[in-house]
Amino acid sequence: MNLLNLFKKKKSYICELMNNHLHFSCRNALEPCCSANVGPAFVSDLSNRESINDFVKEKMKYIKMLKDGEIPSNCKNCVHLKPFEKTTDFRINKITLNHYTQCNCACIYCTQGNRTFEKIKEDENKPVLFDVLKFINELYDNDLIDKQKLYIDFQGGNISCLKNHEEIINTFLHRGVGTIYIPTNNIVYLPVIEKLLVSKKGELCTALDSGYKETYLKIKQVDKFDKSIDNLKRYISAAGNDSIIIKYIIVNGYNDNLDEFKMFMDKMIELNVKIIVVDIDYRDIIDGAFTIPKHYYDIVHYAEQTCKEHHMDLGIPPYTKSVLERGYSIK
């Protein structure tokens, strides 16, 4: 062994997600992130968890490891690792709630589709994997939350199937929160979403993916196109259109044609929706070796033109943008 290596100073790192994020996962664990790497668990079994002090101790242990140049095995090669910078604020400013796995539709591209999702009836509530509220209240009690910045991201299944969604949302509103992001299939109208939108604390995002109900049925596997549109109308008339995001995920062989997309855009104009996101089915992006067909560009081009004409915002997620720019996806 080269003796000099013994005295070489190890590089120090920092991970913002490790410092300030919390992910309540469907693996029953509490983790810093839900990135592809999935970092170390701060608490490995929340249904049988240790005290809040144990969580803080564990978290600070990993932060120190990074500072000392010891990268936890789950974090190796992660893009979120950055050169060390001194920071003193370790309060939580983002919480992802991924502790439930039920949904009342079955999108063919759902990440959870082939794993834990159970297709359930529209009005049926299933129990969650574990109780997040007790832990969240303790975080507030111990001043471990940055209330101004706190961003809540409901992932998991669909929020209408989460038994205590209303109680969770009301707890955040009562104890202090910046923004609550609600991805929803919008099949069930929820007064608490309307309340959030009216209070300007919420963002609703729904993937409609279609202009015709027949296409919706093929993609979502439930016949709820009209219901979803009606619910959108209700939210917009109660709270305006500032915080409502409608997605069109281009799914190969299902909705990847200009006629469908034009119909979708006509509906959005009629509903006075102001924020559109165009994306590509992640399976084509992540699985790799997918050459973007010309008609995908026609759809994106039509989206750009129509949004400009009607003063709508168009979002294209960064990774999708880079795939569109290079013309193909790689694994």
Q: Shortest approach of ligand SF4 to residue 152 CB, angstroms? A: 17
Q: Cβ(190)–Cβ(132) under 8 Å? A: no
User: Does 149 interact with ligand SF4 (rule: CB under 6 A)?
Assistant: no
In the region spanning residues 178 to 197, those forming contacts with ligand SF4, defined by CB under 6 A, are 185
User: Does 81 interact with ligand SF4 (rule: CB under 6 A)?
Assistant: yes
User: Does 211 interact with ligand SF4 (rule: CB under 6 A)?
Assistant: no
User: Does 14 interact with ligand SF4 (rule: CB under 6 A)?
Assistant: no
CB-based closest residue to ligand SF4: 39
Residue closer to ligand SF4, measured from CB, 98 or 306: 98
Query: Within a 10 A sphere around the Cβ of 128, how many other Cβ atoms?
Result: 23
User: Does 18 interact with ligand SF4 (rule: CB under 6 A)?
Assistant: yes
Residue closer to ligand SF4, measured from CB, 80 or 195: 80
Burial 45-70 (b: 16+ CB within 10 A, else e): ebeebeebeebeebbeebbebbeeee
User: Does 125 interact with ligand SF4 (rule: CB under 6 A)?
Assistant: no
The token duo for 100 is 């439930």
Given the rule CB under 6 A, which of 101-109, 134-142, 228-236, 303-311 is the region that contacts ligand SF4?
101-109
The token duo for 261 is 């997309």
Residues 6+ apart with CB under 8 A from 191: none
User: Does 63 interact with ligand SF4 (rule: CB under 6 A)?
Assistant: no
**Residues near ligand SF4 (CB under 6 A), total:** 22
Q: Cβ(80)–Cβ(16) under 8 Å? A: yes
- The DSSP H or E segment spanning 323 is helix 318-326
Ordered DSSP codes for 78-134 = -TT-EE--------B-EEEE----EESS--TT-TTTTTT-EE--TT--B--SS--HH
User: Does 32 interact with ligand SF4 (rule: CB under 6 A)?
Assistant: yes
User: Does 158 interact with ligand SF4 (rule: CB under 6 A)?
Assistant: yes
Residue closer to ligand SF4, measured from CB, 46 or 307: 46
- Backbone angles phi and psi of 60, in degrees to 5: -70, -25
Given the rule CB under 6 A, which of 35-43, 163-171, 232-240, 283-291 is the region that contacts ligand SF4?
35-43
User: Does 129 interact with ligand SF4 (rule: CB under 6 A)?
Assistant: no
Binder of ligand SF4 out of 14, 52, 65, 106 (CB under 6 A): 106
Rg of the Cα atoms in the chain: 22
Residue ranges binding ligand SF4 (CB under 6 A): 15, 17-18, 32-33, 35, 37, 39, 74-75, 78, 80-81, 103, 105-107, 110, 112, 157-158, 185
